[in-house]
Structure 1
């Protein structure tokens, strides 16, 4: 069925708040009001290093069974993206299906990663048994959220893909009957919060086979070590030999865990997963100028920077926008882009190497999507 089939109309219902995110519902319905297809567009601010920009993400994509394989979802996505392009310069998908989204300019732009930490490694690094409570660690409450937001925003202030969390943020998963909710631990030193951990909840009746930490953020290495000890103690009490922490390897938590001894598991999907698309190239690059200047430091004169920056906004030296989004986010470095067939003119190469160093480098942490900000 073509996109101009009669009797199916497009509507948007905007600005409803769902779990701390502004949500816009985009729908196709028949003339009689029967639902055909629907998706959600969520608003947030997402980091490209030290600069966060307004962005929107696509989620909740669904076509009713009786209307599938008739082209309705393609029409809905095109119309939703056209509306997004009037509001923001970049679009994201939190968990894309393999195949379909590439047709709309999306590309996989972040890898999935987590730390696996043996309890014995933590105990050995601590130099003591885990049978005693860790001082300063207690169960968290909603009153701790402002400090948790501050700690998170500080810890990931330059990490691509992470959300800039606003003052009213609360994406902790509420607990309900038969549904596990988030469990929090907060570490206080001298009356101030210096770290927290959010544990993935366990539903009543679930086996005690694993323990997963959705986030672990600390002000310093000593605080991270104490939180890891507190979680290892929970595992020791449940007779678990290891636990998983969903943090990047180059975070403070990752560095402390690596020192103790751990495994880092990472997955790079060829398609689907966490994806991004440029909607307005010139405007996006213009908004990221302070970040590109930060990465370039003082390696080039203002004249050279200005000429190259103008060329980047126009589409030279990186004409492919799927390559551009991967370079801006740090999923690729310039060397990796060369390996995929991209050619950069000689006079731009030094500056592009500074602009696009790839994640996990001194000027740009690894891009990472924390689970509590997914949708």
Structure 2
């Protein structure tokens, strides 16, 4: 028998191609368990974690993969492969255009995942305090500041790439709320402007798996889970004074603080100005990885930001541009209301079109700001008009895709 017992069938859906695998929505409303049964026992599983991430002014639906594992006695039998294959089928049948995960090396490439970009880090060594702008201060956050902290995060990620759109009841906010309610004055500090306004915060965020892994991989550094700032002055006071308040250093163990933050953020700009080191951790395999699920859904969700970039650049895109991946073709065309995104059967015949032939992996990297369209264009056999090439450069500039540590799945 390769199925769960009758008492476990409520809400479970059998995979269409693998009868030993079942898909079950969890009670949290955002995750789905995919598990393989042997003689009525769940022996291998993973979770699909549905999230929304920022792509500048657009919000993109993304399905994350987490919790991949097989019981020790059942390993080396291909069960994880079957579970992940079923998870991909479930995601492809859903609403997301993109899947992401944080994975081990030399495994997830077998399922179509590729590097999504480096880990963006900031190394901060103790300073003399010269970086603090005049009349700026820091203070511990209290429960009365909770809604303001949420507002600061939302404002700071408005133009970000890859940052999670946090719902009010998400785990990152629930946990911070619990800590503030219990009077943990070291968990979070605010940057206060001379006018008394909160303009940023630093959060210790210990105990999240992503922060723990980053600390394990970087001995000698004290990880600070999240530093958010609306401007350079707030970032400077947080770096110069706030880090020591949320995460005091042990001189025998720590040479400084390690912050995971995108290098196109106010925090990174301020840190570099103050003389601290920006670091990119590149991996040949594993780490942050992504996979295209559906080109039309991905480009449809991204359309508001792509249209904004075209408008700012002045690119006209007077004739349709076909984005041709191995699995689908999508037509992009300018309209008065913005950018029209339509699935199309093929790029032959009809009105004149430009065709951008691109792999699914390269399209995902371009959307996340981690691929250079010029390089992709040079690799394709069919040429693009200058107008189409300029439109691609405008729509897919280099950015720093980053999800903050408390949101990783």
Structure 1 length normalisation: TM-score?
0.80
* Corresponding position: 1:254 with 2:268: yes
Question: Comparing 226-235 with 255-264, which one deviates more in the overlay?
Answer: 226-235
Kindly report which structure 2 residues correspond to 1:202-221, keeping only aligned pairs within 5 A, or say none. 210-221=221-232
* Corresponding position: 1:304 with 2:315: no
Kindly report which structure 2 residues correspond to 1:1-375, keeping only aligned pairs within 5 A, or say none. 9-17=20-28, 22-30=30-38, 32-120=39-127, 123-126=129-132, 136-171=137-172, 172=175, 183-189=187-193, 190=195, 192-201=197-206, 210-231=221-242, 233-234=244-245, 239=251, 242-297=256-311, 299-301=314-316, 303-305=318-320, 310=331, 316-337=355-376, 341-343=379-381, 345-347=383-385, 348-359=388-399, 366-375=400-409
For residues 274 and 201 of structure 1, what CA distance do their matches in structure 2 show?
20
Q: Following TM superposition, by how much is the alpha carbon of 1:12 offset from its aligned partner in structure 2, in angstroms?
A: 2.2
For residues 89 and 186 of structure 2, what CA distance do their matches in structure 1 show?
36
CA contact (8 A) 1:51 1:290 kept: yes
SS in 2 for 1:11: strand
Unpaired stretches in structure 1, ≥5 consecutive residues? 129-133, 360-365
CA contact (8 A) 1:118 1:261 kept: no
For residues 67 and 249 of structure 2, what CA distance do their matches in structure 1 show?
39
CA gap of 1:293–1:127, structure 2 versus 1, over 3 A, is closer
For residues 381 and 370 of structure 2, what CA distance do their matches in structure 1 show?
17
CA gap of 1:68–1:22, structure 2 versus 1, over 3 A, is same
Structure with bigger RCO (C-alpha 8 Å, 6+ apart)? 1
Q: Following TM superposition, by how much is the alpha carbon of 1:45 offset from its aligned partner in structure 2, in angstroms?
A: 0.2
Q: Following TM superposition, by how much is the alpha carbon of 1:238 offset from its aligned partner in structure 2, in angstroms?
A: 5.1
Deviations 1:313-337 (A, max 9, x none): 5584133111110111111111343
Q: Following TM superposition, by how much is the alpha carbon of 1:169 offset from its aligned partner in structure 2, in angstroms?
A: 3.2
CA contact (8 A) 1:151 1:194 kept: yes
Q: Following TM superposition, by how much is the alpha carbon of 1:62 offset from its aligned partner in structure 2, in angstroms?
A: 0.6
For residues 156 and 7 of structure 1, what CA distance do their matches in structure 2 show?
40
CA contact (8 A) 2:122 2:279 kept: yes
CA contact (8 A) 1:333 1:358 kept: yes
Q: Which residue of 1 aligns with 2:12?
A: none
Two-structure CA RMSD over aligned residues (Å): 3.4
CA gap of 1:321–1:164, structure 2 versus 1, over 3 A, is same
CA contact (8 A) 1:88 1:279 kept: no
CA contact (8 A) 1:119 1:232 kept: no
Figure out how many residues of one structure are paired with residues of the other and give that number.
347
For residues 345 and 266 of structure 1, what CA distance do their matches in structure 2 show?
33
Deviations 1:59-116 (A, max 9, x none): 0001122222222222211111111122223343331122221222211112112111
Unpaired stretches in structure 2, ≥5 consecutive residues? 1-14, 213-218, 324-329, 333-340, 347-354
CA contact (8 A) 1:200 1:211 kept: no
CA gap of 1:29–1:123, structure 2 versus 1, over 3 A, is same
CA contact (8 A) 2:188 2:201 kept: yes
